[in-house]
Amino acid sequence: MPRPVFLIPADDRAGPGAIHRLVDTVTGLINGCGSVGAILGGLLPGYLSTSTLFYGFAAAAADRVSMVRALTMLNATMSGR
């Protein structure tokens, strides 16, 4: 299965360290998301009710799933499959 081209920066598409740089970038992004999640996990319960948090996170998860599906379909369309 080919890698999605639109997710890879132009300077990371070739060269000996391309995969290593891409892995470093993704690792940094995931660590950053975890840090933001920890901050929000400590702040939000004090400001919002439990049901508001539940429905807000459920909507955000559904949105994320639909975005991933749309990007997958776009990649398949762009690669000519």
- What number of residues does the chain have? 81
pLDDT at 24: 78
pLDDT at 17: 62
pTM of the model: 0.41
Report whether pLDDT(34) > 60.
yes
Q: Which residue has the higher pLDDT, 25 or 14?
A: 25
- Residue 53 contacts residue 45 (beta carbons within 8 Å): yes
Distance CA 24, CA 36 (A): 18
Cβ contacts of 53 within 8 Å, gap of 6 or more: 44, 45
How much of the chain is helix, strand and coil, in % rounded to 5?
Answer: 80, 0, 20
